[in-house]
Structure 1
Amino acid sequence: MRAVVIRSFGGPEVLETVDVPVPAAGPGQVRIRVEAAGVNPVDAATRTGMLVEFGLTTAREVQGVGWDVAGVVDEVGPGVEAFTPGDRVIGVSDRLDVPHAGYAEQIVLDADAVAPAPRNATPAEAATIPLNGLTAAQALDLAGLQEGQTLLVTGAAGAVGGYAVELAAARGLRVVAVAGAADEETVRKLGAEFFVPRGADLSASVRALVPGGAHGAIDAAVVGLPALDAVRGGGSFVAVIGGAAPLPLRGIRVANVWVRADGARLAELVRLVDGGRLTPRVAGTLPLAEAATAHQRLAEGGFRGRLVLLP
């Protein structure tokens, strides 16, 4: 089968499409024929060697790339009862130290990292859900806010931020969304009650809308201290990038979300998608062999949603 791998760190040009043996599903695992694989910023961090530099994984001779997949189960290992060959599924590969990952024609995942695919989404749309949806959901858990409280979401028009806005609104939180001025209509449709344009004095703007400051923040845009300053004393702040959490000033609870695979939680997100309450957004699709082009576009930015590779 074909897979995209890294043999040396660097720019998009180091991504290689190679032939590798078809993996077999072991005990408690399923093998998925990949129809779509999401392209995420963490993939670029893998490619450049940043994850090795930060001690999050070891250097390998061959390194796999890609977290998000949507596809069809084509083999189940011993002990798996929840899935059978032919099931359409989505899943997340959250292990970093592997020879190949989501950018591949087939992948083996633990069955508890997989959920039935949404009925009302294409494979490309479905592939945008696992990593970004779970990051948003687990960040909301860490924020620990109650219905009626106010949540600041930076990068609210992005993939993680957009899911965070919708999930927060579904929990009855009042969302202050930060995004580009052109994205105001989009984030309000996702459920934001308040809007602050990117580039404004964040703390002053939020406090003008919410006297005393927001009860919590999810910093999807890695704004850092200005977002922290928009949170009231004793509130909560969640960073979505490892090492990006500021110091816990004014008694604010500060945490990093270290996303983990969770098939049961993923199934909850799928139900929201099928119910029209969670919105996958695809910025564009490319063939698997054009992974380098996808990474070039990822670096350029300027799009909403996620790029998706189609094996």
Structure 2
Amino acid sequence: LPGFKEIHPMVFSGVYPINAADYEHLKLNLAKLQLNDSAFVYQPESSVALGFGFRCGFLGLLHMEIVQERLRREYGMDIIATYPSVVYRVKLRNGEMKEIENPAHMPEPNHIEEIHEPVVRAFIICPNEYIGDMMTLVSEKRGSIENTETLDTRRVMMTCILPLNEILIDFHDRIKSITRGYGSMDYEPAGYQVSDMVKLEMLVNGEPVDAFSCIVHRNKAEARGRALAAKLKEVIPRQQFAVAIQAAIGGKIVARETVSAFRKDVTAKCYGGDITRKRKLLEKQKEGKKRMKAIGSVRIPQEAFIEVLKA
């Protein structure tokens, strides 16, 4: 039809049933939601960690929250949602332009010329006394302020340009917290801008875990990697060998935590005697753990994934 434009999703998130047996039930309920919501799109995807689920596209944050709440309340689904992401435009060295909404599909760094991230024009209304704190928040989220307008004697409206990726999780909550509930925000798409974005991968015992991959700005990658590694250290069960948890950008490790190994006291039966006997037993144990680490694999329980994604 003339003048008709197809709606394109701006925010993507993986939705998985906590119980794998509910996959078909989830598929049916997503189809029902799509019947009365043409802006909602989904397609099947699978994850080594979370099993079979769906990659869902939403118009924005509110739309995403409404769909997830409807699945839980109206259809009684017990679901887990992955970290939301946006659609990046990746320009390759051969001139080709790709749209990437899943970090797992990001090309290798040596093939990338530049990455464009979506930005929004946000309109933030807050009381006069909180304008300094709001400016700090916008700066922290890599935003810039275009204009400040006085609405009345008590309120101002700031017009800002912000990366969509930065307002996905806690931005609205931070506004409410800073302004004691008096602040509000509205936003509209404002195109794309070139940014120094990188793919952050989490490695457990040297193996990448796709469920925790994300695309972040280079300046924030190390802090996010450290936070994820620390959280994973809390939830991954101890093994008979030390387990390394690493955050990597390309081939460079930017953060690391180690889950210490169980240690059997092999010298418990040595009462006194020559110290060389104890040393031999400890060396033997050390060699055994080295062999075990070389051939052993770490199975991360699904509860650990759910714990980290909920955090």
TM class by smaller structure:
under 0.3
Task: Compute the TM-score of the two structures, normalised by the length of structure 2.
Answer: 0.25
Q: Give the structure with the larger strand fraction.
A: 2
